[in-house]
């Protein structure tokens, strides 16, 4: 059995086999003719073991990477393609995603399954752009769901967390290609939080990073622009991270000196301005020092208070954590298992270097996230199981029932998924 590992190395598994399917017929035959559990995998960029499988078959959709116009303002996209290749092709065809996250290595299938998101109060997660979903169910039968046909099942499976079926193709609502004018600068964290709603909605896309012990928010803002492109400066984020790590190691004993050095590092790395087409502007470089991550989505109105508490807790108990926290906003949707279900959200992500102990940090920040009824990102690390999740998702029972209808024999249920879903 060949070892499989996710991007950060936090999930390691030993599937009996890894099958790359190239057509719907292959996929249907695989499901019908095999026994045991199957688990889809995209790019393996989830931090939680949501894609991992021992004693079963790992399935990837290498052949499902087509991108075609479905109708004006809509594209039909294979679920196995990576967002980077998909967005380049969409751009060439006169289409665009209205929003993207901070990398483009994920597959569309993976991004839809976990409600992957970017930032901006006008924009929902990737699944909120869906208008039709084609899946192969647990009996190997093809199903096409949309807001017009089987709308309840569609809403239950649009954020499917890899249960209910293998997504092979999706029709997504698209925008016209646009250019983004992006600026990055540092301000005091308290100034950002005092004027939070106005600042987070002042531009099309706003997010910020907070570096433990610095007192500074590094803000990234974008607006659509018709201006001529200005080349993106060389990405120095990894160099900045290495400096933060060194500063933490050498100066942990002297908080005032540490803060001073952090402010110098932030000043030398925070300023950035460029104008690029959307598909080049969104993704950033996250290779280099790898990390683990937990991210919770909180009701927008409690976000600033929750962030203050998370910052205070990390600075007191985990001052050595040098990876920035990331703070974003996401618009509400009506998808049963979306963490943004019926609520505009503030997302707070806490990262720590891969290979370093993560559990204690995660459990500590979770005390704050749980207090404010945060819902965890499905692809990131968290400790919740079905009992708590059911209380956080008003449409939980409907989604579980839909999953049962699509996969009555539990062909897609690993032990991790069984704990998550209460099966
Ligand atoms: C460096 C980095 C940056 C990130 N940035 C962001 C970000 O900006 N915003 C954000 O929200 N998240 C972000 N993430 C998390 C990431 O977007 C999600 O975890 C996403 O699900 C990963 O996609 P993947 O293709 O790697 O899927 P995998 O991790 O391989 O799988 C994720 C889930 O999708 C299921 N799945 C995959 N393909 C299919 C399919 N065809 N049909 C049904 N189910 C399927 C799997 O079974 C599994 O349950 C980031 C992760 C990393 C490592």
CA distances from 405 to 127, 164, 410, 415, 420 (A): 21, 8, 10, 19, 18
Domains 67-176 and 179-376 share a fold: no
Residue 310 pLDDT:
98
Q: Provide mean pLDDT across the span 388-394.
A: 98
pLDDT digits (tens, 9 = 90+) for 106-140: 999 999 999 999 999 999 999 999 999 999 999 99
Residue 251 pLDDT:
80
| Cβ partners under 8 Å of residue 100, min gap 6 | 83, 87, 118, 278, 279, 282, 283
CATH class of 67-176: alpha beta
pLDDT digits (tens, 9 = 90+) for 238-263: 888 888 888 888 887 777 788 888 88
Contact 114, 123 (CB under 8 A): no
The response to whether residue 44 sits with its C-beta less than 6 Å from ligand 1 reads yes
Task: Quote the mean pLDDT of the chain.
Answer: 95
> Which atom belonging to ligand 1 lies closest to the Cα atom of 107?
25
* Ligand 1 center from residue 354 Cα (angstroms): 17
The response to whether residue 218 sits with its C-beta less than 6 Å from ligand 1 reads no
Residue 349 CB: number of other CB atoms within 10 A?
A: 21
- Asked which of 10-24, 190-204, 226-240, 409-423 is least confident by mean pLDDT, the reply is 226-240
The response to whether residue 81 sits with its C-beta less than 6 Å from ligand 1 reads no
* Ligand 1 center from residue 230 Cα (angstroms): 31
The response to whether residue 346 sits with its C-beta less than 6 Å from ligand 1 reads no
Percent of the chain with pLDDT over 70: 100
Q: Provide mean pLDDT across the span 4-22.
A: 96
- Asked which of 82-86, 140-144, 246-250 is least confident by mean pLDDT, the reply is 246-250
Contact 163, 39 (CB under 8 A): no
Torsion of CA 227, 230, 232, 233, to 10 degrees: -140
Extents of the domains making up the chain: 67-176, 179-376
Buried/exposed code over 25-51 (b: 16+ C-beta within 10 A; e: otherwise): eebbebbeebeebbbbbbbbbbbbbbb
pLDDT at 37 over 80: yes
Where does the pLDDT of residue 295 fall: very low under 50, low under 70, confident under 90, or very high at 90 and above? very high
Where does the pLDDT of residue 268 fall: very low under 50, low under 70, confident under 90, or very high at 90 and above? confident
| Cβ partners under 8 Å of residue 76, min gap 6 | 66, 67, 68, 69, 70, 169, 170, 171
Where does the pLDDT of residue 225 fall: very low under 50, low under 70, confident under 90, or very high at 90 and above? very high
**Rounded distance, CA 416 to CA 318, Å?**
28
pLDDT at 316 over 80: yes
Residue 259 pLDDT:
83
User: Can you name the CATH fold of 179-376?
Assistant: Vanillyl-alcohol Oxidase; Chain A, domain 3 (3.40.462)
pLDDT digits (tens, 9 = 90+) for 339-387: 999 999 999 999 999 999 999 999 999 999 999 999 999 999 999 999 9
pLDDT digits (tens, 9 = 90+) for 146-174: 999 899 999 999 999 998 999 999 999 99
Residue nearest atom 10 of ligand 1, based on CA coordinates: 116
The response to whether residue 43 sits with its C-beta less than 6 Å from ligand 1 reads yes
Residue 267 pLDDT:
81
Where does the pLDDT of residue 271 fall: very low under 50, low under 70, confident under 90, or very high at 90 and above? confident
């Amino acid at each position: 059995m060949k070892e499989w590992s996710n991007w950060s190395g936090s999930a390691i598994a030993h599937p009996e086999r890894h099958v790359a399917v190239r057509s719907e017929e292959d996929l249907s035959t695989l499901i019908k003719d095999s026994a045991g559990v199957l688990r889809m995998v995209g790019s393996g960029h989830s931090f939680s073991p949501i894609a991992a499988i021992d004693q079963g078959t790992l399935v990837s959709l290498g052949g499902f990477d087509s991108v075609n116009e479905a109708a004006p303002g809509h594209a039909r996209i294979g679920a196995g393609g990576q967002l980077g290749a998909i967005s380049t092709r969409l751009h060439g065809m006169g289409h665009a995603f209205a929003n993207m996250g901070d990398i483009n290595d994920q597959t569309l299938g993976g991004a839809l399954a976990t409600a992957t998101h970017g930032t901006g109060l006008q924009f929902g997660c990737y699944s909120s752009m869906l208008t039709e979903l084609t899946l192969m169910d647990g009996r190997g039968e093809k199903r096409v769901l949309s807001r017009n046909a089987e709308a309840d099942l569609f809403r239950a499976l649009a954020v499917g967390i890899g249960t209910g079926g293998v997504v092979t193709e999706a029709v997504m609502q698209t925008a016209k290609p646009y250019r983004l004018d992006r600026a990055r600068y540092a301000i005091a964290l308290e100034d950002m939080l005092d004027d939070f709603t106005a600042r987070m909605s002042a531009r099309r896309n706003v997010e910020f990073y907070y570096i433990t012990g610095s007192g500074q928010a590094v803000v990234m803002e974008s607006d659509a622009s018709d201006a001529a492109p200005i080349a993106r400066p060389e990405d120095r984020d990894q160099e900045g991270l290495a400096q933060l790590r060194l500063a933490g190691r050498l100066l942990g004993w002297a908080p005032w000196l540490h803060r001073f050095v952090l402010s110098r590092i932030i000043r030398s790395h925070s300023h950035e301005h460029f104008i690029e087409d959307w598909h080049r502007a969104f993704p950033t470089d996250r290779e280099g020092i790898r990390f683990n991550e937990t991210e919770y989505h909180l009701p927008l109105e409690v976000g600033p208070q929750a962030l203050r508490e998370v910052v205070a807790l990390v600075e007191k108990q985990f001052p050595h954590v040098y990876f920035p926290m990331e703070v974003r906003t996401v618009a509400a949707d009506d998808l049963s298992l979306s963490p943004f279900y019926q609520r505009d959200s503030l997302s707070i992500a806490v990262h720590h270097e891969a290979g370093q102990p993560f559990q204690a940090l995660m459990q500590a920040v979770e005390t704050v996230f749980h207090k404010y009824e945060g819902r965890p990102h499905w692809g990131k690390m968290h400790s919740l199981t079905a009992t708590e999740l059911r209380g956080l998702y008003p449409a939980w029972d409907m989604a579980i029932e839909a999953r049962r209808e699509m996969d009555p024999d539990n062909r897609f249920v690993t032990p991790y998924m069984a704990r998550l879903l209460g099966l």
